[in-house]
Amino acid sequence: MKKLSMKQKRGLLLLHLIFSSILLGTMVGFLLLSITAANTGEEGVLKACYTAMHVLAKTTVRASTIGTVVTGVLLSVWTR
């Protein structure tokens, strides 16, 4: 099995941390949008919250989840 050099390992770890932080930030955004949607009485705000969550789920969540899993697996396979 191929081992990574220290520079390659740091680069892969940096990518993993970037994807993970994007995912964490998106989940915080989901939490805030959910709280806002639960506590509002206005139809426009409710629709805007759910629309924003739908857009985030289709784009950012998918990409960051795939990136986190792929870089995590590569780190576990290519390092000790």
If you average pLDDT over residues 42-65, what whole number do you get? Answer: 95
Q: pTM for this one?
A: 0.86
Q: Who contacts 46 (Cβ-Cβ below 8 Å, separation ≥6)?
A: 37, 40
Residue 32 is predicted with a pLDDT of 97
Residue 2 is predicted with a pLDDT of 75
Report residue 61 as tokens: 């969540």
If you average pLDDT over residues 27-50, what whole number do you get? Answer: 96
User: DSSP code of 58?
Assistant: I
Question: 42 pLDDT exceeds 80?
Answer: yes
Question: 71 pLDDT exceeds 90?
Answer: yes
Count the helix, strand and coil residues of the chain and give each as a percent rounded to the nearest 5.
90, 0, 10
